[in-house]
Copies of this chain bind each other. A is one copy, B any other.
Amino acid sequence: MLLRYFYDDKLAHASYLVGCQATGDAMVIDPGRNIEQYIAAAEKEGLRISAITETHIHADFVSGTLELAHRTGATAYLSDEGDENWKYQFADRIKSVLVKDGDEWKVGNLRIQVMHTPGHTPEHISLLLTDTAAAAEPMGIFTGDFVFVGDVGRPDLLEEAAGIAGTAEPGARQLYRSLQRFAQLPDYLQVWPAHGAGSACGKALGAVPSSTVGYEKRFGWAFQVEDEEEFVGMVLADQPEAPRYFAMMKKLNKEGPPLLNGCPLPPRLTGHKLVELVKQEAIIVDTRESAAFATGYLPGSWNIPLTSSFVTYAGWLLDYETPFYLIVDEANLLTAVRMLYSIGLDNVAGYATPEALEFWTRETGQELCIMPHVTPQQVKEGVLKGEIQVVDVRGATEFKEGHLPNAVNIPLGYVLERLNELPVHQPIVVNCQTGVRSAIAASLLRGVGMDKVLNLRGGFVEWATEGLPIERENGHG
């Protein structure tokens, strides 16, 4: 048996290829949209991808199952659990088998057994893997978004992101029961989840790639809760905001996402064209790091740096229907484009390099915009006197644990739709934890013309480090 681990750190997404060297067959579990990587890996090992499966209809990235099945001719094994809202609509477009709890199939000498583990979603399955050539019992279980390392999948995502009201609590109860069942598995089984630290699909995921049933039972928080009611309360509390694009992903992954069929690279824009786009108020995403953006950017452009959070914020902020343009280094173009494609943002209409920005001044005679970064000391007086409005763009949970005095909390993803909550004539300081998210938010606010917006350098951490006053949910700090 062979097992290969694929990790997309932009999505905190883990996928797997398992293969039987004896027969040359391989299966991919929970593929992402960049399917070339699985094809390349299988080829390198001399394996043929003859099966694909996924644990559930993903909400946080475009599934590669449909395209990989098209490209390889492999059979897709898809969950047939859950009610009619949870049926794969693309199943008949490829070779596919619908599976339920207890079903099993073989890939070469490997046996895969289905275990229905609802909670995160109703149709969610986990997959026990046995190397029948070497062992009578399974070696591990692919748990998808059911059990993570040190955490469990959140049952409220549907309600949060997909707007399916009233599903969070029943989901939490289902999850509780699924965990009870999981706890019956042998201690020594490896646990191979679909996400690592940083995913919005859970709240406390560890930065260790895999775990074991026994370790999770002993030390995973969810297994320490004895009472269902208590569990329901805990699992629903303090979950991070669900990115808005999750709803679109659910829909695409259920209906079947568009086939990429290779990788189109967008056209390069001239500086002149870029200037025209600014004048037309096109959506321009500047992927430079915030420090570079701050010292000179195009009016109206948004700063979403090409860090590991690029995908998340792009998914929050960009509209799936409207073409947009990138400011990106030539060397990072392919990476940026693949990231965007990974969540279905296929509408990249062109790109320009940072050098092209110089044409703004050349052609309009106007300077590039500057984004002032202010220090805690520079704004403390105004903040304490209430002369400056503080907008904290962290998540609600982070906010509750401590924030600047008189701050209002608008998580980054909601900034554009809650503009009306902000003062028009007052200076605004935007802060987050360390200054990264606030830089994005500040660029959004300035992009809609709020030119008194400042970014707090170092964020809440630096404010606190300097011993300045803090408020907490239930009183002053």
Interface residues of A (CB under 8 A from B): 1-3, 5, 21, 24, 36, 39-40, 42-44, 46, 48-49, 71-73, 134-137, 139, 150, 186-190, 197, 206-215, 217-219, 260-273, 276, 289, 291-292, 294-296, 330-331, 350, 353, 355-356, 358-359, 362-363, 367, 373, 458
Smallest CB-CB separation from A5: which chain B residue?
Answer: B209
Identify 10 residue pairs between A and B in the complex whose beta-carbon atoms are under 8 Å apart, listed by A's number: A24-B362, A39-B270, A48-B362, A71-B269, A139-B208, A190-B190, A190-B211, A212-B212, A264-B264, A291-B292
In the bound complex, residues from chain B placing their C-beta under 8 Å from that of A39 are 268-270
The answer on a CB contact under 8 Å between B72 and A272 is yes
Smallest CB-CB separation from A355: which chain B residue?
Answer: B43
The answer on a CB contact under 8 Å between A362 and B46 is yes
Interface hub of A44, A71, A362, A373 (most chain B Cβ within 10 A): A71
The answer on a CB contact under 8 Å between B209 and A3 is yes
The answer on a CB contact under 8 Å between A44 and B355 is yes
The answer on a CB contact under 8 Å between A190 and B210 is yes
Q: Tell me which of B134, B207, B269 contacts A3 (CB under 8 A).
A: B207
Bound Cα distance from A453 to B451, whole angstroms:
28
Given contacts A1-B208, A137-B218, A207-B3, contact A264 B265 (CB under 8 A): yes
Bound Cα distance from A268 to B261, whole angstroms:
9
Other A-B pairs, 15, CB within 8 Å; known A5-B5, A21-B207, A292-B295? A1-B206, A1-B207, A3-B208, A5-B209, A24-B362, A43-B359, A44-B355, A46-B358, A187-B214, A188-B213, A188-B217, A190-B212, A262-B264, A262-B350, A265-B265
Bound Cα distance from A76 to B294, whole angstroms:
38
The answer on a CB contact under 8 Å between A219 and B3 is no
CB distance from A220 to the nearest CB of B (A): 9
In the bound complex, residues from chain B placing their C-beta under 8 Å from that of A190 are 190, 210-212, 215
Bound Cα distance from A452 to B153, whole angstroms:
54
6 closest A-B pairs (Cβ-Cβ)? A188-B214, A291-B295, A2-B207, A135-B219, A187-B188, A262-B267
In the bound complex, residues from chain B placing their C-beta under 8 Å from that of A2 are 197, 207-208
Bound Cα distance from A294 to B261, whole angstroms:
31
Smallest CB-CB separation from A46: which chain B residue?
Answer: B358
Bound Cα distance from A218 to B136, whole angstroms:
9
Q: Tell me which of B43, B217, B219 contacts A134 (CB under 8 A).
A: B219
In the bound complex, residues from chain B placing their C-beta under 8 Å from that of A206 are 1, 134
Q: Tell me which of B48, B49, B262, B350 contacts A266 (CB under 8 A).
A: B262
Q: Tell me which of B73, B266, B356 contacts A272 (CB under 8 A).
A: B73
CB distance from A42 to the nearest CB of B (A): 7
CB distance from A365 to the nearest CB of B (A): 8
The answer on a CB contact under 8 Å between A353 and B43 is yes
Q: Tell me which of B134, B266, B272, B358 contacts A150 (CB under 8 A).
A: B134
In the bound complex, residues from chain B placing their C-beta under 8 Å from that of A270 are 39, 42-43, 48-49, 71-72
Bound Cα distance from A217 to B137, whole angstroms:
12
The answer on a CB contact under 8 Å between A71 and B3 is no
The answer on a CB contact under 8 Å between B265 and A263 is yes
CB distance from A464 to the nearest CB of B (A): 13
Bound Cα distance from A363 to B72, whole angstroms:
14
Bound Cα distance from A184 to B36, whole angstroms:
44
In the bound complex, residues from chain B placing their C-beta under 8 Å from that of A267 are 36, 71, 260-262
Q: Tell me which of B186, B355, B362 contacts A214 (CB under 8 A).
A: B186
In the bound complex, residues from chain B placing their C-beta under 8 Å from that of A208 are 1-3, 139
Bound Cα distance from A37 to B49, whole angstroms:
31
In the bound complex, residues from chain B placing their C-beta under 8 Å from that of A271 are 43, 48
Bound Cα distance from A359 to B187, whole angstroms:
40
Bound Cα distance from A205 to B189, whole angstroms:
19
